[in-house]
Amino acid sequence: MTLYITSVRQWWAAPAALSLLTAVCLVVGKSEVPVPSITSGMGGVQLAFFTPVLVVIAVMYCLDRNLGQAETTAVVPIGTLDQGIVAVTAGLAHLVGLLVGMDIARNTVLLLAVALLVRRLINEAAATVAGLMVLILSLVAGRAYDPNGFVSHTWWALALYPADNVTAWLITTLMFALALHLTLARR
């Protein structure tokens, strides 16, 4: 089974993506890139905001690699194995979040949840793009002005919430739990 995990599924790519996420966040994560917004004109966002997509790409790559006939006859349910490894990846993202910011960890789990849900409906390629689109849509349409005139976020743009917002964590956790549950269901 270890050979299957490392050679066929290549799950080593997920921790490698988390390492790359950490390196990018620590080296150039504070650099700002200009991003247009529908509600507040041109704004900027830190480059680190986009790094969770690296982990989503790696996880979807691993889930896409399979041996269909071998998996259907395997003694160990591969879906359960995948579910466990995705959960471990989310846990490792929280450890990385201690270094780079817990908002990055939350957004990684949020994008993983979105990607797993889209993967259930369509495929891995669409799931990867869906994660990126959540970030872009949040930036472009999710910014708003608070009553004091400062740029804030709309209620639905979870990726823009501050790291200490309990509601964003709760919704992200529920989405991730639902996505993990659905990964075990037959496609």
Instruction: State pTM to two decimals.
Output: 0.87
Q: How confident is the model at residue 155 (pLDDT cuts 50, 70, 90)?
A: confident
Alpha-carbon gap, residue 183 to 62, rounded angstroms = 14
- Check pLDDT > 90 for residue 88: yes
What is the predicted pLDDT for the residue at 41?
A: 66
d(CA 50, CA 128): 13
What mean pLDDT comes out for the span 54-75? 81
Mean pLDDT to the nearest integer, 78-88: 86
Is the pLDDT score of 40 beyond 60? yes
Q: Which residue, 25, 15, 24, is CA-closest to 59?
A: 15
pLDDT-derived band at 32 (thresholds 50, 70, 90) equals: confident
Annotate 95-136 with three-state secondary structure. Answer: HHHHHHCHHHHHHHHHHHHHHHHHHHHCCHHHHHHHHHHHHH
Residues in Cβ contact with 118 at an 8 Å cutoff, skipping those fewer than 6 apart: 126, 127, 130
pLDDT band at 129 (very low <50, low <70, confident <90, very high): very high
